[in-house]
Chains A and B, each alone.
Chain A
Amino acid sequence: MNTGAPLLQGDWRGDPSQAWWVAGTALAVALWFVLYWQLVPFSEWVVSALALEEGSRLAEAVQFFVYDTPKVLMLLTLVVFAMGVVRSFFSAERTRTLLAGRRQGLGNVAAAGLGVVTPFCSCSAVPLFVGFVSAGVPLGVTFSFLIAAPMINEVALGLLFVLLGWKVALAYLAFGLGVAIVAGWVIGRLRLESWLEEWVRDVRASTAILPEGGETIADRIRAGIEALRDIVGRIWGWVIVGIAVGAFIHGYVPSALLASIMGRDVWWSVPAAVLIGIPIYSNAAGIIPVVEALIGKGAALGTVLAFMMSVIALSMPEMIILRKVLSLRLIAVFTSVVAAGILAVGFLFNALFT
C-alpha cells in the first residue's frame, strides 16, 4: 500500500513528531464525536427534504436507511481504529508462545480471550492452525482460538453495542467466549489429533524467533489507520447491503408474520436459524443491521443471535479453507460441537431476555 500520503510512510522512530501524532489523533476523535451527535438532525433533515408521506412505509424504510448508514459507518471507523491500535500489542507468534504446552481448561480460556485481541485474517487461518499445532499448542486450545477469533470481533461488538445496547453486546461477548471455550474443550477431550491431515502431523517446524519491533505510539496509531483502511475498505459494501435489507424489513415486513416465525414462543426457530446460518456467508457488519430490524419487528433475541453466530462462526468458505488441514470427519465434529453451543446460547438468550 504505497498510495498514502508521505506522512503515513517511512520509519519515524526517534522522530520528535510523536506528539503531533497523538495530538492529531485526539483532534480526529473529538471531531468524530461532534459529527456523530449531528446524525439524528441530519437524517431527519434528509427525510423531510425528500418530502415523503409522514409515517408511510417508504418513509419508515428511507429513514432507517438514511439514519443507520452514516451511523454504522462512523461507528465502524472509530471501533476498527481503536482495535487496530490494541492489536498492535499482540501477534499470532506471541500468542502461540503463550499457548504452547498449555493444558486443557485454562488453556481454552486463554485461547478464547487471546482470539479476540490477536490480529487474525481468515486468509491466514491455515498457517495459524499449522503453526499452533506444530509448536505444541493442544488441538482443543487451537480450536478455542479459531472459534473466538472470527466470531467475537470489534465490528460485531461495536455494532451490537450501538444498535442493540450494552447488555446485548456484553451477553454476546460472554456467550461467544463460552461457546469457544466449551467447544474447544470438548474437541480436546475427544482426542482427535489423528484426524488431522497427514502432512499437518508431519510438520516439525522450529519456532521462528522474530526481532521485537520496539514500536512507538506513532507506529501504533499508524497500525490503527491501516486497519481502518483495510477493514472498512473491505466491509462497507456489506454494511450498505445489510442496512438496505434491514430498511426493507423495517418498512415492509409485517410484525405478525415475523413474530409467528421467529418469536419467542416458536421453539424450533432456534435450530432452524442455526441450520440456515451455516451455508449463508456474511460478516458481522452486514448481518447486524438485519438483526436490528428483525428484533424491532418482534423476533426473539436468542433466535436472531443464534442465526448471527451461525452465519459468522460457521461458514462454508472457512470450512473449505480448513479442509486443507482437517479431515472431513474432524470438520463434521467441529461444526456439530460449535452448532450445539450456539443452539444452547439461542435458547438461553430467549429464556433470559424478555
Chain B
Amino acid sequence: MKDVKVLGPGCARCRATAQMVLDQAASLGIEVNVEKVTDYAAIAGFGIASTPGIVIDGKVVHAGGLPRPGDVARWLSA
C-alpha cells in the first residue's frame, strides 16, 4: 500500500492530478491511499512553492503543474 498525498488548495489541476494518480495506480495494479492536503500550512510544511504537489511515502516527487502520466507511473512503481 503506497501512501500518496496530493498537495493543493483544491484547484482544477489538483483534482486532475489526484485522478491521474488513481488512474495510473489502477492500471498498474498498485494499491494506493490518496489523501488530498488542502491546508496551506500543511502544504508549506512539505517545502514546495507551487501546486499541485505529489508526495509518495513521505517523499516529495513533484511540484507545480500537471505531471506527465508516464512520470506518475514511474514514481508509483519505484
Contacts and interface: CB of A to CB of B under 8 A. Distances in A.
Interface of A: 1-2, 9-12, 91-93, 95-96, 119-121, 123-124, 126-128, 130-132, 134-135, 199-200, 202-203, 205-211, 219, 226, 324-325
Interface string B42-61: 01111111110100000011
- Chain B contact-residue range equals 20 to 34
Given A9-B70, A199-B40, A324-B40, 11 more contacts: A2-B20, A91-B64, A93-B48, A96-B49, A120-B50, A121-B11, A127-B43, A128-B49, A200-B44, A202-B41, A203-B44
A96 B63 CA distance: 13
B65 A205 contact: no
Contacts of B8: 123-124, 127
A127 B41 contact: no
A327 to B, nearest CB: 15
Contacts of A325: 40
24 contacts: A2-B20, A2-B23, A10-B69, A10-B70, A11-B68, A11-B73, A91-B64, A92-B49, A119-B64, A121-B13, A123-B8, A126-B9, A127-B40, A127-B50, A128-B49, A130-B41, A131-B44, A131-B47, A203-B41, A205-B44, A205-B47, A210-B60, A210-B63, A211-B61
Nearest to B71: A11
B66 interface: yes
A93 B70 contact: no
A205 B66 contact: no
Contacts of B64: 91-93, 119, 124
B70 A210 contact: no
A210 B46 contact: no
Contacts of A132: 49
A232 B53 CA distance: 24
Interface in B3-60: 7-9, 11, 13, 16, 20, 23, 40-41, 43-51, 53, 60
B44 A127 contact: yes
A135 B49 contact: yes
B11 A92 contact: no
A112 B9 CA distance: 25
A200 B45 CA distance: 10
Contacts of A134: 44
Contacts of B11: 121, 123-124
B30 to A, nearest CB: 17
B36 to A, nearest CB: 14
Contacts of B60: 208-210
Given A91-B63, A130-B40, A134-B44, A11 B74 contact: yes
Nearest to A88: B65
Which of B51, B61, B69 has most chain A Cβ within 10 Å?
B51
B49 A93 contact: yes
Contacts of A10: 68-70
Contacts of A1: 16, 66
Contacts of A131: 44, 47-50
